[in-house]
Amino acid sequence: ELHLLPSQKAIHKEIARCPVPALALQNHLLWSELVELLGTPGTGRLMSPVMGRRLVHEILAEQTLPWSKLRHDASLLSTLYRRLIDCRVAGVDPQRLKPTSEPLAVFTYLLSAYTERLRHHGFRDEADRVKLAVARILEARLPERFKDIQCIYVRGLGDFFGAPIELLRAFLKRGVKVDIVMPYDGYRARAFAFPGQSLPLIEQLEGPVELSFDDLKGDGPLQALRASQFTLETPEVHSLTLWESHNAEDSYGKIATQLGRWHQTGVPWHQMTIVSRETLLWNQALSRYLKRSTIRVHHRDAQDMETLPAMRWLLTALSVVLNGFQREEVIELLHLSELLGPSVGASDSARLLRQSG
* Structure confidence at residue 349 (pLDDT): 58
> Is residue 353 within 8 Å of 330, Cβ to Cβ?
yes
> Is residue 2 within 8 Å of 146, Cβ to Cβ?
yes
Query: Taking the C-alpha atoms of 275, 278, 282 and 285 in order, what is their torsion angle to the nearest 10 degrees?
Result: -50
What are 280-323's pLDDT values in tens digits? 555 555 656 666 667 777 665 545 556 666 677 777 888 888 78
Any residues with CB less than 8 A from the CB of 86 and at least 6 apart, and which? 161, 162, 163
Kindly report whether the global pTM for this prediction surpasses the value 0.75. no
Nearest of 159, 154, 169, 155 to residue 91 by alpha carbon: 169
* Structure confidence at residue 16 (pLDDT): 80
* Structure confidence at residue 294 (pLDDT): 74
* Structure confidence at residue 193 (pLDDT): 82
* Structure confidence at residue 69 (pLDDT): 77
Phi-psi region of 156 (alpha: psi -120 to 50; beta: other; left: phi over 0): left
Low-confidence ranges of the chain (pLDDT < 50): 235, 237, 302
Query: Taking the C-alpha atoms of 280, 283, 284 and 286 in order, what is their torsion angle to the nearest 10 degrees?
Result: -40
Q: Residue 6 to residues 11, 30, 251, 325: CA-CA distances in angstroms?
A: 8, 6, 34, 47
Any residues with CB less than 8 A from the CB of 211 and at least 6 apart, and which? 180, 182, 202
* Structure confidence at residue 289 (pLDDT): 62
Relative to beta strand 209-214, strand 273-276 is: unpaired
